[in-house]
Amino acid sequence: PTRPKDIHLENLRSSARSTPRGDLGIRKGASVSEQSRFVSTHMLSVAASAAGALALSLPTFVVLLRAMERSVGLAPPIPSQLAGESAEACALFRHLPALRLRLAWRSLGAVRTPVHSCGLNGRSFLVKREDLASPAYGGNKVRTLQHTLAVLEARRARAVAEGGAAPGMLVVGSGGSNQVVATAVHAARLGLPPPDVAWLSPDEPDLDNSLNMLSALSFPLGGRVTAWGASASGTLTLAASLLGLLPKLARGEVVFPIGANTAAGVLGQVGAMLELAEQVAAGECADPGRVYLPVGSACTLSGLVLGVALARRLGLPAFRASEFELVGVPIHHLFAAAERTLRLHTAAPFSAVPLTVGHTVREGAAALAQLGGPDVTAEALAVLESEVRFVTRPDLVG
């Protein structure tokens, strides 16, 4: 049950249901027990096919993801970025102004997103409208790309100024990925070349991002790295797609991993939480008791964890409720099952594995300290341990 002070961070997407079925293909009007049986069967199928891929490719996957993170990195702004963007438009810079000269940032035309009061079935809640972040393409990817695309732009400019070749860009996602569309849209607005795209796998049927796929294909794209359609098993297809990224990384190109889960991207999401803290302080909304959001690559949730820790360190009057929680709902059954059984996002053995909250929080906190901000690693890990809850019910996942 929700409470009046609950906040849902919306990540509205350009996708639509095109079939009369229910989620996951569940028959309309099916009972709860029928739904549970169907979802359990579906999960076993997903887990069985993924288990083989995981066993064969996990070490490769981890190494590649770490290489992708490093390929993006951090970079200070170039003169055109400093001249063209106001530091006051970035929540992170408003509170830590010294970072303005140490971390590249582009607004991407984004504005502060409002918090709306909503009601449904007699329950009231608040919604932070991240879908309104940009008139070109909104959603939570905008904040992530504000730093990652700016870092790429700065690195390309410096490489050319030094007589070298500007690094290319490749963006990784599943079919219908929001990140692919958002990157294509906002890279074009910055005058960057069309991104190469690596679609690693089709989306699960219940995600149904067909319109996102069509949107991505409507933009000029560079090369494509994908093994779709190959006469191979899912395990070999995934491995082939991953190995296809190696030449790009070897040439020093920038590869945006799934969800742009990088230190620079996480700091963009820290800004989202600082902005919400400002809205609480200004009386625009109540201090939330819970914040709900979907969890895919874990970039956004990791940034919110860091944002809570940083807001408290800065003394902002937000996120002070006695039972405050960040509530994450995974969008993929495999990750939900791993969290349910192995505590994927919080257990110590997974702290070195990219795409987990434990790893991403540590990387983001280290980057913040490296840039001259406060070291909030201990506080952020405490938030993760005691104030983050995952909802992994099979009938809600996806």
Name residue 325's beta-bridge partners.
290
Name residue 171's beta-bridge partners.
197, 256
Query: For residue 77, what pLDDT band results from cuts at 50, 70 and 90?
Result: very high
Token pair, residue 345, equals 């996002």
Query: For residue 22, what pLDDT band results from cuts at 50, 70 and 90?
Result: very low
Task: Output 263 or 201, whichever has higher pLDDT.
Answer: 263
Task: Output 330 or 205, whichever has higher pLDDT.
Answer: 330
Residue 171 CA: distances (Å) to CA of 163, 174, 199, 221, 229: 25, 10, 9, 10, 20
Sequence-separated (6 or more) residues with CB below 8 Å from residue 268? 92, 143, 144, 145, 146, 147, 148, 303
Of 43-57, 94-108, 164-178, 228-242, give the lowest mean pLDDT range: 43-57
340-393: per-residue pLDDT in tens?
999 999 999 999 999 999 999 999 999 999 999 999 999 999 999 999 999 999
CA angle 150, 330, 68 (to 5 degrees): 35
114-142: per-residue pLDDT in tens?
999 999 999 999 999 999 999 999 999 99
**What pLDDT shows up at residue 332?**
85
The amino acid that residue 69 corresponds to is E
Contact of 342 with 390, CB cutoff 8 Å? no
290-295 sheet: strands from edge to edge: 115-120, 123-128, 7-9, 290-295, 325-330, 388-390
In the predicted model, is pLDDT for residue 232 greater than 50? no
Q: What is the distance between the alpha carbons of residues 222 and 128, in angstroms, rounded to a whole number?
A: 34
**What pLDDT shows up at residue 216?**
87
